[in-house]
Amino acid sequence: MTVHRSIGLPALRHLDPFLMLDHFSSDDPDDYIAGFPDHPHRGFITLTYMLAGRMEHRDSMGNSGIIGAGGVQWMKAASGVIHSEMPKQSDGLMQGFQLWINLPAQHKMSEPAYQEYPAEHIPEVADNGTRVKVIAGHYGDTLGPVQDAITHLTYLDAQVPAGAVWTCPTRPDTSVFAYVYAGDARVAESALPAHQLAVFDAGDQIAVGAGGQRLPAGPAEWAKARVGLNRGLGPPSAVRPARHTLPAGGNRRSAGPSGGV
pLDDT for 116 equals 96
Q: Each residue of 68-117: pLDDT tens digit?
A: 999 999 999 999 999 999 999 989 999 999 999 999 999 999 999 999 99
Contact (CB, 8 A) for 240 and 195: no
Residue 259 located in a structural domain: no
- Residue whose C-alpha is closest to residue 138's, from 123, 116, 121: 123
pLDDT for 228 equals 40
Do 97 and 127 lie in a common domain? no
Residue 251 located in a structural domain: no
Do 167 and 103 lie in a common domain? no
Give Cα separations from 39 to 58, 84, 112, 258, 261 (angstroms): 11, 6, 15, 6, 11
Do 28 and 132 lie in a common domain? no
Q: How many domains does the chain have?
A: 2
Residue 230 located in a structural domain: yes
Residue finishing a domain among 119, 136, 153: 119
What's the pTM? 0.84
Do 101 and 165 lie in a common domain? no
Do 146 and 242 lie in a common domain? yes
Q: Containing domain of residue 128, as a range?
A: 122-246
- Residue whose C-alpha is closest to residue 42's, from 114, 115, 109, 105: 109
Model confidence at 173, in pLDDT bands (50, 70, 90)? confident
Do 158 and 100 lie in a common domain? no
Mean pLDDT of 199-222: 64
Residue finishing a domain among 119, 149, 171: 119
Mean pLDDT of 203-220: 62
pLDDT for 245 equals 60
Ranking 64-68, 157-161, 177-181, 238-242 by mean pLDDT, the lowest is: 238-242
pLDDT for 124 equals 96
Residue finishing a domain among 95, 119, 143: 119
Determine phi and psi for 29, rounding to 5 degrees: -55, -30
Give Cα separations from 41 to 19, 77, 79, 214, 221 (angstroms): 13, 6, 9, 39, 40
